[in-house]
Every structure is written in C-alpha cells, then in structure tokens.
Amino acid sequence: MAKARTPARATRSRSRRADAPVVAEVEVVEEEKGLGMADGIAIVTAILLVIAILMVDYKMGSAYGGGVFF
C-alpha cells in the first residue's frame, strides 16, 4: 500500500516555523532631559500672546476708556 503524502506547502510552512524563531527587535532610545525646541516655542508664544493682550488693553483703557485691566 502507498503512503499518503502531505502537500508540499504544508511541509514547507511547518519547517519555516521550526527553523526560524520569531524575535521581536526593540531599540532602546533614551529621552533627552530638559525642554526641547517645540516646548520653547510654545512657551515663548504664550508669553507673547499675554503681552499683546495686555498692551492692547492698556491702549484701549488709556485712549478710549474701555480697557478691562487698565
């Protein structure tokens, strides 16, 4: 009696799994300490916006009598 053969693709896929173990590669990256460029730009922008609002309010208060703070 003849032996039943398994399909070739099934044999190949099983041998690949056994030969090549799955390894997850992980790269360790250290974060820099301190503020970055984006953090500095955000802080400077916030400060300039507050100064601009106060300057406009001062001008509205002194010239037109309609300022909120001055």
DSSP letters, 2-55, are: PPPPPPHHHHHHHHHHHHS---------PPPSS--HHHHHHHHHHHHHHHHHHH
Assign 49 a pLDDT band (cuts: 50, 70, 90). Answer: very high
Q: What is the mean pLDDT of the chain?
A: 81
Given a cut of 90, is residue 2 above it in pLDDT? no
**Residue 7's pLDDT is what?**
59
Given a cut of 60, is residue 14 above it in pLDDT? no
- pTM tops 0.85, yes or no: no
**Residue 3's pLDDT is what?**
65
The predicted model gives 1-13 an average pLDDT of 59
